[in-house]
Chain A
Amino acid sequence: MFTRKRAVLIYLLPGLLGLTLFYIVPFVGGVWYSLTDGSYKNAFVWLDNYRNIWKNQMFLLGLKNTLLLSAICTPLVWALSFGVSVLLNRLKPGGAFFRNSVLMPYLMPSSAMLLIWLVLFDYGGGVNRIVQALGFARVSWLEGAALRIPVILMFVWKNLGFSVVIFLAALQAIPEPLYEYARLEGAGFFRQAFHVTLPMVVPSAFLVFVLSWINAFKIFKEVYFIGGAYPDESVYTLQNYMNNMFGKLNYQNVTTAAYSFALIVFAIFGLLFLLQRRLLKNLS
């Protein structure tokens, strides 16, 4: 550890300057916008903007869809990636090919995948062929509420691999003797899973959950690709609302919406954090 003061500044300054300039200062300063009315007098209106936005239909629709989509995507990515990494862990030391192919979409631009998505999810496309082969009626995936499915699948397709890598690292860090000991004590597969694997992966599981939720909160790309710039109501997200307000130069609404959403995000993460601490205490 170095303690020379001047040297620190050289390393820290560029980054700190940027963070302060682009994130921290305007974040605090923006509160002012959310409390004023934006007229030429710019009168101070206390919490009126917040009261108004919580009655605004489009904001509520965007908020609802963003929360709904992220609440579907996150557990889906979480559970799938856990399953895949357990399978991969059983193959060790092999399985590199499978691991690499699951990770690949994380680096792929999903924008370029739009074309093939439109082809596969068309009314006469490959997905509907499978649906019909399974004995169900065809679905028009690219309209109405069904639009959510291709959007969610594109999100899962892209983000699965990153979670798999984190889970896999956690699983491989569990020392093998722990299992041997458990087996000697007469623990079967399920008891091993519950009493050895589970407590060892809880911190990583929590991390994966939070990281994929952070990711899922900003779900918009997939909506923009598949649903277009003015999507169906069922996939109208908060980002659509923000872009719309931003286009109208309505900074009062933009800031108010952003801070309202920030409060919700922090409330959710706070809850998750408490839950994880409780869970860890119970397990140990």
Chain B
Amino acid sequence: MRIGRRRHIPARAALAAIALVVLLPVFLTALYSFFSPGEIKAFMETRGSFDAAKWMEIKLAPRVFSLSQYYNILIEDVSVLKFLINSAMYAGAILLGQALVIPAMAYALSRFRFPGRDLIFFAVIMLMLLPFQVTMVPNVLTLRSLGLLNSAWAVILPICFAPFYIFLLRQFMVGLPREILEAAEIDGAGTFRCFVHVALPISRPILGAAVALSFADCWNLVEQPLAYLAEQPRLLPLSVMFNQLTETSSGVEFAGAALYILPALFVYLYFQKDILSGIQLTELK
């Protein structure tokens, strides 16, 4: 072990440099959220100067360590908090919808034999390959005829049937050992009990991975709200609001960003093992 560690010094150095670059933006955002709003405001106002003699300061420590950005957002002026709550509402609703629909469908596509199965799976793959610019059109046509445009449902409903997660779960469930499910059947379990008490628990890695990846998507919604909620700015999630926040710096934007990162960070830490093993165990080809 010790010899191995010494041998890989160049690889370690390269990876450390990459990790540093990758983590730096997150670290700096967290750091700047503890600056006082006045200091951040002054700092952000030095942006956009094209004077070749001037630099923006490199700030690595606040003049005064301060929680007033957080105080501002959470208590004084709750406009940012409202958008944060919108984001949470979308993420919660979408994950709930996906949980009700997608595992069951993946289970049917992987464990049952019925006419049309391959055709359905083929359609799922084709839809998965299409970029959002294309699939948004059929979504819009349906949403319009249902009269759901400019309501929260427009953002939530289409994503509940996201083809990528059907594909991901199906590919994992195909690889589940058949013996376990057959044993459960012989023991008298119906298809429902097989599904809930056997198939779902042993699919835990891919379910965790899917939850984490899907949460990351929902938490970073941009295209859908911009296209579907153009007339309802109240309903926008925070992810599309950072543009406006930075245009006129109020000094609290970094705390907003840090608060926005925090749930994603928890989800990541909680599910990181599942993401790794879920993807490793899935026959993706």
Contact = CB atoms under 8 A, between A and B. Distances in A.
Contacts of A209: none
Contacts of A269: 129
Given A11-B112, A18-B160, A214-B128, A120 B260 contact: no
Given A14-B104, A107-B216, A243-B227, A112 B242 contact: yes
Tell me the dominant secondary structure on chain A's binding face.
helix
Given A22-B157, A98-B18, A166-B279, A265 B131 contact: yes
Given A5-B114, A15-B166, A140-B50, A101 B105 contact: no
A111 B104 contact: no
B28 interface: yes
A228 B123 CA distance: 35
B104 A30 contact: no
Nearest to B166: A15
A2 B25 CA distance: 51
Contacts of A25: 138, 142
B285 A242 contact: no
B285 A203 contact: yes
B264 A109 contact: yes
B139 interface: yes
Contacts of B215: 107
B197 interface: no
A55 interface: no
B275 to A, nearest CB: 7
Interface stretch (B6-14, B71-79, B200-208): B6-14
Interface in B85-101: 100-101
A21 B161 CA distance: 10
Contact of A138 (B52, B185, B253, B276): B52
B108 interface: yes
Contacts of B223: 218, 220-221, 239
A97 B19 contact: yes
A165 interface: yes
Q: How large is the interface on B (under 10, 10 to 19, 20 to 34, 35 or more residues)?
A: 35 or more
Contacts of A76: none
A44 to B, nearest CB: 18
Nearest to A90: B11
Given A101-B23, A138-B52, A262-B130, A111 B222 contact: yes
A243 B226 contact: yes
Interface string B97-122: 00011101101110111100000100
Contacts of A30: 137-138, 141
Contacts of A84: 15, 18
B47 A119 contact: yes
A119 B130 contact: no
B261 A108 contact: yes
B284 interface: yes
Nearest to A158: B220
Given A11-B105, A18-B160, A111 B240 contact: yes
Q: How large is the interface on A (under 10, 10 to 19, 20 to 34, 35 or more residues)?
A: 35 or more
Given A11-B105, A14-B101, A243-B226, A228 B22 contact: no
Contacts of B195: 11
B137 A23 contact: no
A119 B40 CA distance: 11
Interface string B204-248: 000000001101100110110011001000000011101101100
Interface in A106-122: 106-120, 122
Contacts of B16: 98
Interface stretch (A124-132, A182-190, A191-199): A124-132
A106 B219 CA distance: 12
Interface string A1-41: 11111011011101110110111111101100100000000
B86 to A, nearest CB: 13
Interface in A237-281: 238-239, 242-243, 246-247, 251, 254-255, 257-259, 261-262, 265-266, 269
A134 B123 CA distance: 51
Contacts of B257: 112-116
A225 interface: yes
Contact of A104 (B22, B44, B190): B22
16 contacts: A7-B192, A14-B105, A84-B15, A98-B16, A109-B264, A111-B238, A111-B242, A112-B239, A112-B257, A113-B26, A119-B28, A124-B51, A165-B279, A225-B243, A242-B227, A262-B130
7 cross-chain pairs, A with B, having the tightest CB-CB distances, nearest first: A15-B105, A26-B138, A18-B161, A11-B108, A217-B131, A112-B257, A111-B239
Given A246-B227, A257-B133, 9 more contacts: A19-B124, A30-B137, A84-B15, A109-B261, A111-B222, A224-B222, A225-B222, A265-B129, A266-B129
